[in-house]
Structure 1
């Protein structure tokens, strides 16, 4: 897109008291789109539905334009136009588009479907030149071979039965009174409302005449016979132009009256003409050179001199179609100072005056006070600063010093700073008649009312001299540094610094404002607002409208105006808190830029305020190309929110139109959604926010592409929503949306995922079983090794100790047999031998125990019950034994280890716990054997629960060792005066003789399937 800007050096307004002149073309901004930049060629007709696309009928087809992209009309699959060379175009409020073809015939387009009408449907032959609709809903078509009417069902050719005089029609037009005007080959006729009889005017016209209605109701006509003129109510004699007439009569290809009452004409070979006061033209008189028509040609930026269609959109822009592209004209909101020469269009110093403002450049100064003409002012030197103090004094800084002018007196201030004053960075007068001054490399100074000078110790972390100084209404002084702002209290006793740690992330400070809306710090990287003791920053990375702000001014209504790198930003006072509410806050603001007449962007290099408000309420802005001003009260706000549309969803090269049942291909992960605002007005300032529900947690600020892309989406249902705001910050009330489904692939489907989960569980179970087998095998090997060692020990004991002891007993018995029966020693020896027999018997039993055999779980329970009864004998303690589940055969070694572990626990309970009750529980589960010993005695302290913590006490440590040997889990829980519980859980593979798990059909979790409880109390 090429932007063509047309600045004419004219006075803004006439002298005071003169009547305001109508706006001229110099007060319109122009923008062009050429064929080289993607616009279609041969634009012959334009149309727009209210607040919708701009439609272009061209020699190459029908296009829609949103201000950014030219797209062909989206026909549905299998639909096509029988010709793409379009002459006429009509867009109805219903959304239907009627197209008149160069080759003849009319086409109706509705939701991408085509309905064609030709001579067989009642239309005249030849080119269709114009289409119109009357208030009764009837459509009219002007064709080379006749006039036709469509009543909603069929076309009817209009002829003598309707008193229509010509065989062809070149133009049809419906006026505000409901009349239909038809320009025929030679006659001009009009049809009253609800009538079927045309009235024919007497004057002759030439071929291809065009018509338009003035806001006051007059009908204008333009043809090659008499040029362009308003029609008279009285019959006018024909006044054809001589063939050799060179008088510049305007002969229009199209006429347009815009909302401001001006007349626009497109003229072949010229371009565009405009008449600001058409109401002053007498009826019947043709326009001539003396009427002051303005001209806009390719020399000023029009894409081509072959201009035909004209259209004013709902937003007020005037559009012109040419054979080489498209142009638009927009009335500027800002006024510029035209008296400044090209060399003076940058580097201004602005200062408030009693009337208007003082604008100084080099040695020239102008007093600007519209509607009065700029008045030159005496200037001694090139001003570096010029600021109006609260007491009315004007402070100035030039190469010779600092000056204060007040009530006609000019006083030099701070004479000690005569040298190097061009390095002044900032100046701020206060209410006491003094001023704060910042000098590069030297720091901050204060100049008193008498001109005295003193240094003020105010230092920022990044530089010794601030670039900005501002004094607030409460006399708080603010100093702006590279990455920091410093606040000096009104009593001048307290300094407070604000940096990144306090939320100030604006970069180099370029402006500070303190007013009714709060304290604002602007920098190259954004705008920050003080909220309590911290700043909230609106980053320029999020929206570059808030970057490079060098001027901040508050209007009388409390709104804030920012002069920045993208233009002038207006913040409504009521919207300011919401702007700084967070990273996803909706940004409501108005942006004024070159389309509104702003010359360039805000001054960046000169350390002077670039925005101020004069005493009449006008706002003045200094830019790098001139000075602009406006009065906020005169600005109109375009309250109509932009309509938004989701155009399509794209996956690779495949495009999907919005459809309630839209389902994408399984496995789709990456998508692009294209959206737009339907109006072409202010496309470069249109802002969007979108959100994909299910992915985005909040609304996302969009970039300029008008396309949202998403990657790595999973299966599911999604809804994409988008809203837009126009240049005045008015957001859409309703979001455009598209819903779609991403079906899962086979591997993403629920059955497949369930199967995978089941497989993983099965694999986990198999892994667990395998690991359990391995653990059981290791335990079994360990136990078998222990068993082998015990058998070896049993053999050794049997073959050595038992056999030897038995032999000794036999030998001693042989010896005592020789002693007399009455010998006392014999009796003692026999008693010893009896005891030796008992020892041998006991040893033999122990040897038999070492040779392990399968032992039923019942026997383990009985052995433990017997041990408990023996220990309880003689004590005032109740002993209980509980068996749960079906007992299973146990490995003898495991049974012995469990018996020893449980016996140790019982011994500890009876000896040390002083219990009233002791209980032992054996639970035979399919996956494990659980052994529990409980008492209600005195319990143990946490220190006593540590194995081996007490010297000489190894019972608890031994229990842990036995459990470790079995691969079991041992836990001991106890609290002082709350009893003790010892629990040992042994895996099935380590304890049961048949090994591994054995499901039990009659076992439920926590349910005692079988068991015996035995309770004994021994007095």
Structure 2
């Protein structure tokens, strides 16, 4: 057996532990991007979480997503639009320093301080909430350090021990002392105490000396930036009462001006320079960020650390943010030999091994080591890794399988040759056997015992696998290339379909692992599949995972599940995993660490792709870099972000979110803008809102920062908003806005009451009208019956009764001389004539009651028949003339016409004593009926009032009025008479009434509302 000895396993690079733990993400907003209209000079954060940027042209507010220019209240303004210093204090105030004085903004109210004017350089808040500021070019000679007292400022100068007339940077240390810098030097001061520092180091031969920047650290250290020319450190640190110079990298031209200093929560010192970018110092090591590194500008104006630990840098060209990443990356930038890491393994001795291209590397105690071909690696490509029960490292290198034991490599020969082949994955099973999946053609499964290959199974005997796991009792789990799961034991293969958990998908399986309870976890292209006792269930996007493809997974010592997916590192606590297994349809609570957290996931070429080191950290690779996550950060969650409702917009008009907000009537669109001031990862802030009075459940807009509602009914509403931060913690208190939508006049209760009253009145009126119509109809029918009975009574009285009376008189006359047969015969003859006349008159009355033109619908024929029935004398001629085309008439009206005509003809025949009667029927727009005779005429008193005891003319007039006609009688003595009846055709003709009905129907269809049913 060939033997290689590792000649040297030397550290490739001693990685800086601080660098390893505090990798950062950098984001820049530049003036040319439109975020600002002028150069940012100062930074501060208020208690509500907003970041404020003071520029040469005013204030800008930032919520992590949106930059909003600040506008002062109407009629007010700042002492100067240029902002050169800012401070957010605990009471929620924002203190604004300008070249012309100090201002304060709180709860929508702006105060300008008339005392303590000057160029405000720095603002400080002490533990008691008092606000102090430093100034230069003061308007009055009362001192350069001032304390705000009420609405005035009390200033301190040389009489109170302040040694210099002008003070620029001002800081307060943990002892309560103020440190001030000026062009004349550095001093420490409190009322009643003063001392000057660094006088010897500020003495220079040329140029203006001075202290340009100050910072105090949590450890009590004081940092001072010295503006000077010539040699010597320009950064000074005072620790334990001793000053020492900290050299920075040499600058072109020999001049390096420190403009801003800050010490962050991790104790690292940030140094901003006037023209050479940004420096970060920790444990004596500097990192340098310049414009070519992505900084918005090399000129730094201010530095600020917010409550979430982000470091903000105001430069001459914009704003930069540096934030810690949850996931630390090891790449060539951090000292690895390449960016080709394809396998990772944590071993029991605390090392984390990685196959990184042509090097086998490991990291231990913050130091990276590399074994390559020049110093002992017997090959140029590291593949799979495995630690066996004895703690030895098995390494696939090129086409060989090697064991690294006590600094020496031993090769495992193949069954039929010196080389085994390229190893994809390996596992160690009970009894010490090593199983390996070899991908060099032909693909095969290899069993190794006592460092020798004892069996090889090509695909004909054992299906080709993509993952291996110990099944216990000498059995082996195989994740097959076909997409199914198989168990191999004693030469027998048992297959299990994973279709219950995911589709059979060739090459979809990446890795498999087992739980102590016998469950098998399969990393799959469509999710994470768990198989147990013949049941497969898939955990995927439908269960709340942010993406589908899974490259690897593991269970840590606490039972927490870690998933390496295409969108980052995901983790679920044991309770969530158990809940999902019991109820596969549930949505699990998953914590995701994605690209925003520093993750750079991807599939690895070999296994393992994810591992846990002895210190509990989770390591993973992506065929490029090595990355690590410390699970201890899961419990280090910060408070949820403050939530704010910023404004309501109704029909494009903005309203401030104030109590009692009223929106106009008939508002069509309502938009509510809101924010959660998480400045580290605003992309991960999630919102929920509920509009009480409208929504029945909480709405889930995700990351959207606006709510939209349309056509809200008049009434009162309450908009409630909550949000969660990047770590998933919800701010349940949130924020709320109560508002109302005013009703239009027709939406008011008063108007609705009036409308209801009018509607009820209309219904009552309609009811009364209908009752009146019904009563009028009944009365009309009763009147008609009475009129007919009256007419009949008149006719019977005028004809039949008189004839019968005459017959009685004849009979009485005959009975007066019963002994005279001649007289008796003559009387009986006359009686017979009178009785015949009575019969004819009775028949005429009956015919008048029953006769109608309904059967023939021919009025002219009916009138002709009426003339024949009237017993026209032989000496009289009746002439009937019809003009125009006959038209169909309403039956009832036609019968009334017929009866009027019959009465007029009968009167002319019986009473005119003329020789001719003319009947004319004119069909035109209206119908005209005329009956003329050439008789003796009708006396005026009879034509006007009728004959005493006779009702014929009166009945004719009543019938004419009832059908809407006009009856006129023309007569003169000896010249005959004429009866004329004119009836409007719109009432009489049937076709006109039908046309009106059809027109009404069409009009109704034309005005029918859209979408209504016929």
Matches within 5 A, 1:268-347: 268-277=274-283, 292-338=285-331
Matched length: 712
Map Cα deviations across residues 84-136 of structure 1 (whole Å, 9 max, x no partner): 2111111111111111113x211121222222234xx242x4x3222223345
1:752 equivalenced with 2:751 (yes/no): yes
Aligned counterparts of 1:584 and 1:71: Cα–Cα separation in 2: 43
Q: Does 1:132 align with 2:124?
A: yes
Superposition pairs for residues 516-595 of structure 1, below 5 Å? 521-523=538-540, 526-528=541-543, 538=544, 545=546, 547-573=548-574, 589-595=590-596
Counterpart of 1:69 in structure 2 is 66
1:219 to 208, 217, 222: 222
Which of 80, 85, 88 is the equivalent residue of 2:85?
88
Which whole-Å CA distance do the structure 1 matches of 2:746 and 2:348 have between them?
79
Aligned to 2:51: 54
1:670 aligns with 2:669: yes
Q: Give the secondary structure class of the aligned counterpart of 1:373.
A: strand
Alpha-carbon distance between aligned partners in 2 of 1:761 and 1:581, rounded to the nearest angstrom: 62
Deviation at 1:144, TM superposition (A): 3.5
In structure 1, what is the Cα distance between the partners aligned to 2:292 and 2:124?
34
Q: Secondary structure at the residue paired with 1:633?
A: helix
Structure with the higher fraction of residues in strand conformation: 2
Q: Is the 8 A contact 1:591 1:727 kept in 2?
A: no
Cα distance in 1 for residues equivalent to 2:485 and 2:126: 75
CA-CA distance at 1:303 after TM superposition: 1.0
Specify whether residues 477 and 170 from structure 1 end up closer, same or farther in structure 2 by C-alpha distance, changes over 3 A only: closer
What's the Cα RMSD here? 4.9
Q: Cα deviations across residues 681-704 of structure 1 (Å, max 9, x unaligned)? A: 221112222111122222222232
Indicate if the aligned counterparts of 2:555 and 2:562 stay in contact, CA closer than 8 A.
Answer: yes
For the structure 1 residues 370 and 181, does the alpha-carbon distance in structure 2 shift closer, same or farther, using more than 3 Å as the test? closer
1:140 offset after TM fit, Å? 2.1
**Offset of 1:272 from its aligned partner?**
0.8
Residues 749 and 223 of structure 1: CA distance in aligned 2, closer, same or farther (over 3 Å): same
**CA offset digits 1:569-605 (Å, max 9, x no partner):** 3334456789999999998554323343322x454x9
1:78 is matched with which residue: 58, 75, 78? Answer: 75
Q: CA 1:759 to 1:578, structure 2 compared with 1: closer, same or farther past 3 Å?
A: farther
Note closer, same or farther for the CA distance 1:408–1:16 as it changes in structure 2 (3 Å cut). farther
> Using the alignment, how far apart are the partners of 1:650 and 1:779 within structure 2?
65
Partner of 1:431: 472
Residue aligning to 2:197: 201
CA distance, structure 2, for counterparts of residue 344 and residue 294 of structure 1: 22
Indicate conservation of the 8 Å contact 1:44/1:58, yes or no. yes
TM-fit CA distance, 1:741: 0.9
Cα offset, 1:174, TM superposition: 1.2
Alignment partner, residue 913 of structure 1: none
TM superposition shift of 1:711: 1.6
* Counterpart residue number, 1:156: 154
**Aligned match for 2:186, one of 185, 188, 197:** 188
Quote the Cα distance in structure 1 between the aligned partners of 2:11 and 2:341: 27
Q: Deviations over 1:588-632 (max 9, x none)?
A: 554323343322x454x9898854546664323344753422242
Aligned partners of 2:48, 2:63: CA distance in 1, in Å? Answer: 11
2: CA distance, partners of 1:349 / 1:99? 55
Q: Secondary structure at the match of 2:169?
A: strand
Instruction: Give the aligned partner of residue 526 of structure 2.
Output: 509
| 1:655 to 1:354, Cα distance in 2 relative to 1, 3 A | same
| Residue matched to 2:413 | none
Is contact 2:49–2:677 with CA below 8 Å preserved after alignment?
A: yes
CA distance in 2, matches of 1:316, 1:404: 53
Corresponding residue for residue 828 of structure 1: none
Q: Does the C-alpha gap of structure 1 residues 410 and 582 become closer, same or farther in structure 2, counting only changes over 3 Å?
A: closer
Aligned residues of 1:270 and 1:305 also touching (Cα < 8 A)? yes
Kept after mapping to 2: 8 A contact 1:172/1:182: yes
The structure-2 alpha-carbon separation of the partners of 1:233 and 1:556, relative to structure 1 and needing over 3 Å to count, comes to closer
**Paired residues of 1:395 and 1:429 also in contact (CA < 8 A):** no
**2: CA distance, partners of 1:785 / 1:768:** 25
* Deviation, structure 1 residue 740: 0.6
Match in the other structure for 1:43:
40
Q: Could you tell me which residue of structure 1 aligns to residue 901 of structure 2?
A: none
CA contact 1:512–1:520 (8 Å) conserved in 2? yes
Greater shift after overlay, 554-563 or 571-580?
571-580
Contact 1:134 1:179 (C-alpha < 8 Å) held by counterparts: no
Structure 1: runs of 5+ lacking an equivalent: 1-12, 278-290, 482-507, 529-537, 791-850, 852-1019
Any conservation in 1 of the 2:591–2:727 contact (CA below 8 Å)? yes
CA contact (8 A) 1:259 1:316 kept: yes
Describe the shift of the 1:458–1:678 C-alpha distance in structure 2 as closer, same or farther (beyond 3 A): closer
Give the Cα separation in 2 of the matches to 1:462 and 1:245. 61
Quick one: which of 458, 470, 486 aligns to 1:446? Answer: 486
The partner residue of 1:261 within 257, 267, 278 is: 267
The 1:587/1:772 distance shift into structure 2, 3 A limit, reads farther
Contact 2:168 2:182 in 1 (8 A): yes
Alignment partner, residue 934 of structure 2: none
For the 8 Å contact 2:43–2:86, the answer to whether it is kept is yes
CA spacing shift, 1:29–1:90, aligned 2, 3 Å: same
Cα 1:477–1:565 change in 2 (3 A) is: closer
Q: 2:24 is matched with which residue: 13, 24, 28?
A: 28
Mapped partners of 1:253, 1:761: distance in 2: 82
For 1:170 and 1:330, the matched residues in 2 are separated by 28
**Alpha-carbon offset, residue 662 of structure 1:** 0.9
CA deviation after TM superposition for structure 1 residue 459, in Å: 5.9
Deviates more, 1:579-588 or 1:605-614: 579-588
Rate the CA distance shift 1:361–1:156 in 2: closer, same or farther, 3 A. closer
Structure 2 partner of 1:401: 444
Which deviations, in whole Å up to 9, do the C-alpha atoms of 1:375-420 show, x marking residues without a partner? Answer: 6633225554455667774543523322345663445553234999
Over 3 Å counting, the alpha-carbon distance change for 1:470 and 1:19 in structure 2 is closer
CA offsets 1:201-233 (integer angstroms, 9 cap, x no match): 361642352111233313221112351112488
User: Partners in 1 of 2:198 and 2:13 — Cα distance?
Assistant: 46
Structure exhibiting the larger radius of gyration computed from Cα positions: 2
The answer to whether the 8 Å contact 1:48/1:91 transfers is yes
Contact 1:522 1:549 in 2 (8 A): no
